Structure 1
Amino acid sequence: MKLAVVGGGSTYTPELIDGFARLRDTLPIEELVLVDPAADRLDLVGGLARRIFAKQDHAGRITTTTDIDAGVADADAVLLQLRVGGQAARNKDETWPLECGCVGQETTGAGGLAKALRTVPVVLDIAERVRRANPDAWIIDFTNPVGIVTRALLQAGHKAVGLCNVAIGFQRKFARLLDVNPSEVHLDHVGLNHLTWELGVRLGGPDGENVLPKLLAEHGDAIADDLHMPRQVIDRLGVVPSYYLRYFYSHDEVVRELGTKPSRAAEVAAMEKELLAMYGDPTLDEKPELLAKRGGAFYSEAAVDLAASLLGNGGSPVQVVNTYNNGTLPFLPDDAVIEVQARVGHDGATPLAVPALDPLYAGLIANVTAYEDLALEAALRGGRDRVFKALLAHPLIGQYEYADGLTDRLIAHNREHLAWA
């Protein structure tokens, strides 16, 4: 089995490598190729990756390359974890929207649209190269914004499934609070990527006892603290929103907070510098503790599980993924990409049935889906007017004066990445 990781020079690739090493019985990799245009980073990350495999007695071979075509050749699955423009572009995404009084964040709002515009054309080019190399290869997309990028891949006819670590993070957190094995915890996880709610927490399987009321009663303060939301909001909802819902439920408060501290991109850039120095130490043969602060917790385990299922090598039969709606949420078009529990196998992902949603959630999902329609159109076809319409449709913006100002800023800060600008 051969896997390729495009964006393999990322500083959190060692998290992925550690998972591959520990879970080799689930996903028996014979060859792993790390692909990245940044040769210097790739050398450091690749060296540590080989040492992690060696320490854990993994027999698989790890190679590195800056050549995408060579890296994906004959791969059974390709994992995409790109950041077009790097942390510098992310830093801009997190700052210029604040000038208009809007949230600056890399996956939602104006910053999320900028990332989508930079990313979708690059991902589609890579996917075409994968298809030419092996039409049967699966593409696992961890590149944000996952919902929009996965939809672009699926609409272009690629064998793709989107993946996010929010659900597995909740699963592990709830398992600790309940003092049970994570495999016993199943989530009624519903929504879009980075716009989800845990409507239920079930023990033993998708049809097991719903212990969410117990969790909220006994651990509501801890859950609310993790989400940076007031406990009374969680209690009134009776569900657990993802922490990305804070940008919607506390927009103005978040904008004020973001204006008083360095961007997350600046923090991560400093962390990456320290991590890369660590990776260059030839005695380091495990992922450092600092990596836990970088983000992407449990991504490796979710990725292994998904790849194993898609490649017919076991894996959990039900997983939270991003895939076509196909009637699951009846108020959305079939080709919308949703994030829900799905049955996953070598034929792909099929969403499980979802109960009728409260309008409180369905309305916001429908609104953001409409924005994503326009965002993908702007990413595929370009043009100032398409960017403006996408921003105007976003519920975090929604005013023409803001949308106009944000459009000008988005184009100015991303001109080098936009072929049409």
Structure 2
Amino acid sequence: MSALKLAIIGGGSTYTPELIDGFARLRDTLPIGELVLVDPAADRLELIGGLARRIFAKQGHGAVVTTTTDIEAGVADADAVLLQLRVGGQAARNQDETWPLECGCVGQETTGAGGLAKALRTVPVVLDIAEKVRRANPDAWIVDFTNPVGIVTRALREAGHKAVGLCNVAIGFQRRFAKHLGVDPELVRLDHVGLNHLSWERGVTLLDAPGAAGGREVLPELLAGFGKEIADDIRLPQRVVERLGVVPSYYLRYFYQHDLVVEELKVKGSRAAEVAEIERQLLELYADPALDTKPELLDRRGGAFYSEAAVQLIAALLGTGGGTSVQVVNTRNDGVLPFLPDDAVIEVPAEVDAAGVRPLPQRPLEPLYAGLVAAVTSYEHLALDAALRGGRDRVFDALLAHPLVGQIELADRLTDRLLAHNREHLAWA
């Protein structure tokens, strides 16, 4: 296969060098001939583009890196388009993580009221970009990293786009479990189930060889030997993890310990403020013409292992990864979890290859988890409706349906604050 052309929408992000590093190291799996960074921030593009070229050169990679502020030009002839944009930037994120706290609710950019605000800002922009991709190349795959991934991916799929969502939670668990076991990560397969940022590891299989069938279940062994480390990693009590016998995503803490998290956030302040300072320092580092590797500071920005997950997924979709592989992705339910609508977007292992994405069958989801998954799926349906059609009543409905809100007076206050802080990004407000 000839060398590929990839485009990154949001290529001016300080996070982009993480992807570049993975593309450079894993060029045999994903042979990129041209990489286009697309971003409205021309000054950032200059910095990130220069560092990307130096990283590729350092690794002996021959890809051409170009930059543009023009989406149509950037996606023309692209084989795959990666979405990693943030409408409103870190300033909007800081608001998402601040005003919900005024109402006693968790302030977080993908969960609860803050997550809804991000969805409302993001979905229309992403759909506009996706239409431009479709006109440029209807066969191009759209890989969505943009949060909230479940809602954004659902919007893309319902609009008929060739899209799949990707999150780093699963690959993060895979890498950490492999380290505990002292094995290659490719020998660890997860029984990962749920929604984006609402998932559980119900099993961990140790394979005899990468991609092999069968294997040995080792989750009880992991919990027995490394229960404290695992619980500390997801910031949940060890006794609860051992009692459940599964490993919840660290995002479950916002549900299982909501009030405690709210009190912590009131004292600590927003993650957005911390990220903004990290970004300032990163941009200073990126401006150094001698820098030709991703700096260690980037690890504090978040998104660990995203580059490896992205390479695996894109390579499988474009047929350069050596056939069918099993990867955890966000895709249509289509009966996999029978208590959810077919058009819901779930996060489960799927077979991925040039023919597309096929979620693997799942055993019945236990009631302890199924109820929460069903409730959040209903919220996501209402959130998408609000993002597509606007209106205060639709925003209120989505908040009222959310398990972390669910009260009329609270939903009213949150709706007012959401609209007040996001009017410049909502055409209908």
Give the match for residue 276 of structure 1.
Answer: 283
Matched position secondary structure for 1:259: helix
Query: Does residue 105 in structure 1 map to residue 108 in structure 2?
Result: yes
Give CA-to-partner distance per residue, 1:300-325, whole Å, 9 cap, x none.
Answer: 00001000000011166100000000
**Equivalent-residue separation in structure 1 for 2:368 and 2:213 (angstroms):** 23
Query: Does residue 309 in structure 1 map to residue 322 in structure 2?
Result: no
Q: How does 1:315-354 map to 2 (within 5 A)?
A: 317-354=325-362
Q: How does 1:119-268 map to 2 (within 5 A)?
A: 119-204=122-207, 205=212, 207-268=214-275
Give the match for residue 399 of structure 2.
Answer: 391
- How far does residue 347 in structure 1 lie from its aligned partner after superposition? 2.2
Give the match for residue 61 of structure 2.
Answer: 58
**Equivalent-residue separation in structure 2 for 1:249 and 1:124 (angstroms):** 33
Give CA-to-partner distance per residue, 1:53-81, whole Å, 9 cap, x none.
Answer: 00000011000111101000000000000
Identity score, percent: 77
- Contact in 2 for aligned 1:187/1:206 (Cα 8 Å): no
Query: Does residue 285 in structure 1 map to residue 288 in structure 2?
Result: no
2:68 partner letter:
T
Give CA-to-partner distance per residue, 1:29-88, whole Å, 9 cap, x none.
Answer: 000000000011111111100000000000110001111010000000000001000000
Give the match for residue 367 of structure 1.
Answer: 375
Matched position secondary structure for 1:105: coil
Give CA-to-partner distance per residue, 1:251-308, whole Å, 9 cap, x none.
Answer: 0000000000121000000000000000000000000000000000000000010000
- Contact in 2 for aligned 1:324/1:335 (Cα 8 Å): yes
Compared CA separation, residues 376 and 206, structure 1 to 2 (3 A) = farther
Moved beyond 4 Å, runs of 4+: none
Q: How does 1:71-86 map to 2 (within 5 A)?
A: 71-86=74-89
Aligned residues: 421
**Equivalent-residue separation in structure 1 for 2:402 and 2:269 (angstroms):** 25
Matched position secondary structure for 1:260: helix
Give CA-to-partner distance per residue, 1:228-265, whole Å, 9 cap, x none.
Answer: 11100101110000000000000000000000012100
- How far does residue 17 in structure 1 lie from its aligned partner after superposition? 0.1
- Contact in 2 for aligned 1:44/1:280 (Cα 8 Å): yes
**Equivalent-residue separation in structure 2 for 1:348 and 1:92 (angstroms):** 38
2:182 partner letter:
D
- How far does residue 206 in structure 1 lie from its aligned partner after superposition? 6.2
Matched position secondary structure for 1:398: coil
Give the match for residue 16 of structure 1.
Answer: 19
Query: Does residue 115 in structure 1 map to residue 118 in structure 2?
Result: yes
**Equivalent-residue separation in structure 1 for 2:225 and 2:372 (angstroms):** 29
2:348 partner letter:
V
**Equivalent-residue separation in structure 2 for 1:122 and 1:115 (angstroms):** 11
1:9 partner letter:
G
- Contact in 2 for aligned 1:161/1:348 (Cα 8 Å): no
TM (norm. structure 1) is 0.99
**Equivalent-residue separation in structure 2 for 1:101 and 1:207 (angstroms):** 47
**Equivalent-residue separation in structure 2 for 1:286 and 1:175 (angstroms):** 26
**Equivalent-residue separation in structure 2 for 1:206 and 1:269 (angstroms):** 45
- Contact in 2 for aligned 1:7/1:35 (Cα 8 Å): yes
Query: Does residue 45 in structure 1 map to residue 52 in structure 2?
Result: no
- Contact in 2 for aligned 1:187/1:200 (Cα 8 Å): yes
- How far does residue 208 in structure 1 lie from its aligned partner after superposition? 2.0
1:378 partner letter:
A
**Equivalent-residue separation in structure 2 for 1:43 and 1:85 (angstroms):** 20
Give the match for residue 411 of structure 1.
Answer: 419
- How far does residue 391 in structure 1 lie from its aligned partner after superposition? 0.2
- Contact in 2 for aligned 1:185/1:202 (Cα 8 Å): yes
- Contact in 2 for aligned 1:186/1:206 (Cα 8 Å): no
**Equivalent-residue separation in structure 1 for 2:50 and 2:404 (angstroms):** 43
TM (norm. structure 2) is 0.97
Structure 1 unmatched runs, 5+: none
2:183 partner letter:
V
**Equivalent-residue separation in structure 2 for 1:116 and 1:282 (angstroms):** 37
- How far does residue 101 in structure 1 lie from its aligned partner after superposition? 0.3
**Equivalent-residue separation in structure 2 for 1:257 and 1:31 (angstroms):** 45
Matched position secondary structure for 1:283: coil
